[in-house]
Amino acid sequence: MPRFFFHIRNGNGFTEDEEGQELQDERQAEKVAVRSARSLLSAEATEGEIDLRGAIEVADEGGGEVMTVAFRDVLGFKRGGLGDGEAQPDAGSAPIGEALVSHLSCIGELSDEDRRAVAALDGEIRDVPRYQDILRSGDHPTNAVVILSGFLHRYTVGPEGARQIHSFYIPTDAPCLETLHLDYMDNNLAACVDSRIGLIPHRELYRLMDERPDVLKVVWRETLIQGAVFREWLMRNSNMPAHAAMAHFFCEIFTRSRAAGLAEHDSCPLPITQELLSDALGLTPVHTNRTLMLLRDGGLLEWRSGRLKVKDWDRLCALAEFDPAYLHLRC
């Protein structure tokens, strides 16, 4: 039987498994990884704080990575009070505050106390069907949005009815934090696929930012980074040839997914249609499809069933001249 090694990577660093376990196959290894992650988290639960950042990395005898099982993916959560009716199954998505902590931690430094305060933020959980608008141009939002599962995008519609997508959002992202200070939406926020979002009342965030200057700083930084991403997209869409622009898009999504703990080795969720991608890159659907074939046949990536698999990261980055500096990630 093959031997699998279960390394732990989390806030405490890297715990190497030098001994491993003999198991039938990868499916068995995945079961063991999930069970192990749950047992580690259950010990944390008895101490009063669960740290969902981190993962169990499964390797084979040659040291090759077999899979990564993120802690956040091994637990479901049910929230709300008794009598709230049937509790919603919440497969794999972290509670609202936890998701926001995880997002902000990729952006700036927060003390443990700040983290706990942000993690305690709660609000309404809402399921949004595919393509439905969450916020429309002209709306006056009173809640901040945090993505718990799914995929969102922001867009505006031009005078001819053409849609331009400005950005995509992945789980734990908090799109539209600028509405804390800009009172109405000048664009639309919609779901790319069936998604679940958390809504944190703005007043809760105002209160927290009043009490905790470092939270204020990180939220501010978050909105500034959004601006940086828009600038990068502007440069990409107006100055780069289609194949490089598309490669750039894939590089960004993969980098952000990895930072958010959503990537698995060389792949990450990308559950959008080619049509949405066209509207993000400003290409026609036909051009998008042809460009995609080019990247795929070049052995750079695969994209199917809502998953992006990067086959040659170095060449993809070189093609895109991708420099992640504009994402200002700190994780």
Partner 1 sequence: MAQDPNPLDLLVRKLRQHATLSDGDEQAILALPYRMRTVEAGSYVLREGDPPLQCAVLVSGFAYRQKLTGDGARQIVAIHIPGEALDFQNMFLEVADHSIQVLTRAELAFVPREAFQAIARARPGVGNAIFVTTLVDASIFREWVLNVGRRDAMTRLGHLLCEFALRLEEQGIADEYSYELPMTQEQLADAVGLTPVHVNRTLKTLEAQGLIRRSRRNVVIPDWERLRKAGDFNSRYLHLNPQDA
- Contact residues toward partner 1 (CB under 8 A) are 6, 8, 15, 17, 19, 21, 32-33, 35-37, 39-40, 43, 46-47, 56
Tokens encoding 105: 């931690």
Spatial distance between the Cα atoms of 310 and 300, rounded to a whole number of angstroms = 6
Minimum CB distance to partner 1 smaller for 4 or for 254 = 4
Minimum CB distance to partner 1 smaller for 32 or for 209 = 32
Helix ranges (H only) for the chain are 26-47, 96-105, 112-119, 202-211, 213-239, 242-259, 274-281, 285-297, 313-320
Minimum CB distance to partner 1 smaller for 37 or for 148 = 37
Spatial distance between the Cα atoms of 11 and 243, rounded to a whole number of angstroms = 38
Minimum CB distance to partner 1 smaller for 40 or for 119 = 40
Answer yes or no: are the C-beta atoms of 272 and 155 closer than 8 Å. no
Q: Cα dist. 74→30, 31, 39, 172, 244 in Å? A: 11, 10, 10, 16, 36
Shortest separation between residue 111's beta carbon and partner 1, angstroms: 23
Spatial distance between the Cα atoms of 153 and 170, rounded to a whole number of angstroms = 9
Spatial distance between the Cα atoms of 313 and 301, rounded to a whole number of angstroms = 8
Spatial distance between the Cα atoms of 177 and 170, rounded to a whole number of angstroms = 15
Q: DSSP per residue over 60-114, as a string?
A: -TTS-EEEEEEGGGS-----S-TTSSSPPP-TTPPPHHHHHHHHHHTTS---HHH
Shortest separation between residue 9's beta carbon and partner 1, angstroms: 11
User: Checking DSSP bridges between strand 195-201 and strand 124-128, what pairing results, if any?
Assistant: antiparallel
Spatial distance between the Cα atoms of 162 and 235, rounded to a whole number of angstroms = 20
Shortest separation between residue 15's beta carbon and partner 1, angstroms: 5
Minimum CB distance to partner 1 smaller for 15 or for 142 = 15
Shortest separation between residue 20's beta carbon and partner 1, angstroms: 9
Shortest separation between residue 11's beta carbon and partner 1, angstroms: 12
Minimum CB distance to partner 1 smaller for 9 or for 243 = 9
Shortest separation between residue 61's beta carbon and partner 1, angstroms: 16
Looking at residue 298, what DSSP letter applies?
Answer: T
Minimum CB distance to partner 1 smaller for 47 or for 160 = 47
Shortest separation between residue 70's beta carbon and partner 1, angstroms: 14
Minimum CB distance to partner 1 smaller for 58 or for 199 = 58
